[in-house]
Amino acid sequence: MTVQSPGRINLIGEHIDYNGGHVLPAAINLNITIGFKKKTGSVCHITSKSTDGFLFNLEEPIKPKSNNHWGNYVIGVIDGILKLRPNLLSAFDCEIESNLPIGSGISSSAALECGIAFGLNELFNLDLTDLDRIKIAQKAEHDFVGTKCGIMDQFAVTMGQKKKLILLNCETLDYQLIPADINPYKIVLLNTNVAHNLASSEYNLRREDCEKALKIIQSHFPEYKHLAEVPLDIIKTLEKEFDEVVFKRATYVVEEENRTQMASKVIQNGELTQFGALMYGSHEGLSKKYEVSCPELDFLVDYSKNHTSVIGSRMMGGGFGGCTINLIHRDFLDSYVAAVSNDYKNQFNLSLSPIEVEISNGVSIIEL
């Protein structure tokens, strides 16, 4: 059996999934493909076309591997499945092939986790729901990889639908599918090819900053359960109680939540220029207040501001490298990409990798 598991984009609503905010992601047409085969015994062999494989024994306790080994995404999911469905797994082999660039903010990690969870669910008739698998995948990342991620990536990879954006309330997990009508614009990712090494440690620190902010707010207003729902006025009134950094983080979160809610309205009214302006606002906040950008990402977003063919641009995903997401007029796409690639190369002595994406279905079986 072969499973195809996509990467994801996020139009707007960055770093607010773990603050109970709204996000606007979608699955894309770049995938990880995973072949599964049952076998006898208890030893499973996981291989990858691009890196070393590994073995593990289902009869031995599962522990995270050291040194950020990629296998942690896989065995973390298996551990979660064994906890929810004890004794239903038996040995299998798994072969992984990916055309998703790693460390570029397209969530190759969620694609791998959700692909493994989906495949094993089918292979062993585990009767896990979409939400069970989404949560198992997220927990694998928390406990086996060490990134205290939100739920956006796993949700988008699992629930994605062709030509639809997912407006997800990360607190309730209610969602709405919004037609991605963006003609005459195309969604183009510009991969800085700067790997986001800092991402995991800084990510967890941002999360802690947000928790600090919420605690202070709750000591005055216990009715607020998460940061994204707090009105900006309240944060401003309490400014003196926050340290400067925590204040910036909290302000970013509530502003991004407002932008995302607004963006989901304007896109449904076809007001694409307004949508793009909100993307620019998001980047500004991510760069100056949340401080998860880097010079390469800022360069690309600033560059696009001087070109009317680009109506919106911002960094996407965890940050510190990876891609920008851009809405570029189809008639000027090639010329824009050529110009920005050239100037990026001159500035940073790095190649830019453009990726035009289509919004596609979530994880699925492609061969029985």
Cβ proximity to ligand GLA: between 178 and 315 the closer is 315
**Shortest reach from residue 131's CB to ligand GLA, in Å:** 16
Q: Which residues contact 161 (CB under 8 A, 6 or more apart)?
A: 27, 177, 361, 362
15 versus 249: smaller Cβ distance to ligand GLA? 15
State the residue for tokens 């994880």: 363
Q: Which helix (H) or strand (E) element contains residue 117?
A: helix 108-123
Residue 111 C-beta: closest distance to ligand GLA, Å: 11
Nearer to ligand GLA, 1 or 195 (CB): 195
What's the closest the beta carbon of residue 123 comes to ligand GLA, in angstroms?
26
For ligand GLA, the closer of residues 28 and 238 by Cβ is 28
Q: C-beta of 8: minimal distance to ligand GLA in Å?
A: 8
Closer to ligand GLA by CB, 17 or 255: give it.
17
DSSP string covering 144-208? II-----SHHHHHHHH--TTEEEEEETTT--EEEEE---TTEEEEEEE-----TTHHHHHHHHHH
Q: Cis ω on the peptide bond leading into residue 61 (within 30° of 0)?
A: no
First to last CA, the chain: 4
Which residue number, 140 or 238, has a Cβ lying nearer to ligand GLA? Answer: 140
- Interacting residues with ligand GLA (CB under 6 A): 14-15, 17-18, 107, 149-150, 152-153, 317-318
Order of all β-strands in the sheet with 25-38: 54-57, 43-48, 92-98, 25-38, 2-10, 364-367
CB of 257 to ligand GLA, least distance (A): 12
Task: Give the residue with the Cβ less far from ligand GLA, 110 or 333.
Answer: 110
Residue 93 CB, nearest approach to ligand GLA (Å):
28
The torsion of the CA quartet 154, 182, 20, 109, rounded to 10 degrees, works out to 20
Measuring CA to CA, how many Å separate 68 from each of 45, 117, 144? 19, 20, 9
Catalytic residue among 17, 79, 130, 153: 153
- Which element (helix H / strand E) includes 8? strand 2-10
Cα separation, 165 vs 316, in Å, equals: 15
Question: What is the b/e burial string over 43-78, where b = at least 16 CB atoms within 10 angstroms of the residue's CB?
Answer: ebebebeeeeebebeeeeebebbeeebbbbbbbbbb
| CA-based radius of gyration for the chain | 21
Nearest distance, CB of residue 138 and ligand GLA, angstroms: 8
Q: Known catalytic residue: 93?
A: no
Strands 364-367 and 43-48: unpaired
Closest CA to 289 of 336, 329, 254: 254
Largest CA distance in the chain: 64
* Active site members: 153
